[in-house]
């Protein structure tokens, strides 16, 4: 009986040691995350194998696992940049990005977990300055904003594609111009709109006048053709047709044949 505690202590100690080793070796990767394995005694960061995916993993207690978020993330940036004519403009933009999953080991080895500050922010700021510097405030305020957004995305993407980071989208949310410049642009746009409306009214009036002239010319031509075709013989025939129709009318009347000018009949009613 006295030997049982002596035998049980090493076993208990071993069990505790195993539990501690398992606890130190167990790694749980959460949803939307991945782990980079660092082997302390074997060349450090593992770059030639996929990262550890979501779920429970057992690793040697002397190794490390660095966890990264691999879901799409968003960066908000407020930047002051210069236009092509040297005016300071504020740009509010956001970038959607995520690390390249299969290159997570290389990302950790070359940039580390603060890769956002090391490459993404400098890249988007550099691209924005480069792109905005090619445009005037008028372009930024009006029709060119979508094109500028695309150009900033393309230039930023070229930089980040070499940095194991995937850029999904760049959105220019707002462009703030100096108040005096904004007012001048708005006045110019208003004047252009009024000018367009005036030109439209002139064109409309010209078309209406042209329509009236064409209609009048058509009527004049029709009357000229009709006058040329109405001979005395045709007029007499028309008069005779009208007389026959009137004679068939139930209204009382007196028709004197051949009493009118050119031999046309005179119709006397009872009124």
Q: Is the pTM of this model over 0.75?
A: no
In terms of Cα–Cα distance, which of 28, 171, 34 is closest to 100?
34
The DSSP code sequence of 99-138 is E-GGGHHHHHHHT-TTHIIIIIHHHHHHHHHHHHTTS-HH
Token pair 């398992």 is found at: 22
Q: CA dihedral in degrees (40, 43, 47, 48; nearest 10)? A: -120
- The segment(s) of the chain belonging to CATH 3.30.479.30 are 73-182
pLDDT tens sequence for the chain (271 residues): 454 455 566 665 566 555 565 656 788 899 999 999 999 888 899 998 999 999 988 888 888 999 999 999 999 999 888 888 788 888 899 999 999 999 999 999 999 999 999 999 999 999 999 998 888 877 777 667 788 889 999 999 998 988 999 999 999 888 887 766 656 655 665 565 656 666 767 777 777 777 778 877 777 777 677 666 656 666 666 666 766 666 666 665 555 555 555 555 555 555 4
Structure tokens at 212: 């009236």
Fold of 73-182: Tetrahydropterin Synthase; Chain A (3.30.479)
């Amino acid at each position: 009986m006295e030997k049982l505690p002596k035998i049980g202590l090493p076993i208990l100690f071993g069990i505790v040691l195993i539990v501690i080793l398992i606890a130190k070796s167990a790694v749980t990767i959460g949803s939307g995350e991945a782990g980079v394995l660092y082997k302390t005694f074997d060349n450090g960061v593992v770059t030639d194998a996929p990262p550890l995916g979501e779920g429970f993993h057992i690793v040697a207690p002397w190794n490390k696992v660095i966890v990264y978020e691999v879901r799409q993330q968003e960066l908000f940036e407020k930047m002051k940049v210069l236009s092509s004519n040297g005016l300071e403009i504020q740009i509010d933009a956001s970038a959607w990005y995520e690390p390249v999953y299969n290159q997570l080991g290389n990302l950790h080895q070359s940039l580390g977990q603060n890769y956002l500050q090391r490459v993404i922010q400098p890249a988007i700021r550099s691209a924005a300055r480069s792109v905005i510097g090619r445009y005037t405030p008028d372009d930024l305020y009006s029709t060119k904003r979508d094109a500028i957004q695309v150009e900033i995305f393309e230039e930023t993407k070229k930089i980040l594609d070499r940095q194991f980071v995937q850029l999904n989208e760049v959105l220019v949310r707002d462009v703030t111009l100096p108040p005096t410049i904004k007012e001048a642009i708005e006045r110019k746009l208003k004047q252009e709109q009024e000018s367009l409306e005036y030109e439209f009214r002139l064109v409309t009036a010209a078309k209406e006048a042209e329509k009236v002239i064409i209609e009048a010319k058509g009527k004049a031509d029709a009357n000229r053709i009709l006058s040329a075709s109405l001979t005395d013989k045709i007029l007499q025939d028309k008069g005779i047709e009208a007389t026959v129709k009137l004679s068939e009318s139930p209204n009382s009347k007196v028709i004197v044949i051949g009493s009118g000018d050119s031999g046309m009949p005179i119709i006397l009613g009872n009124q």
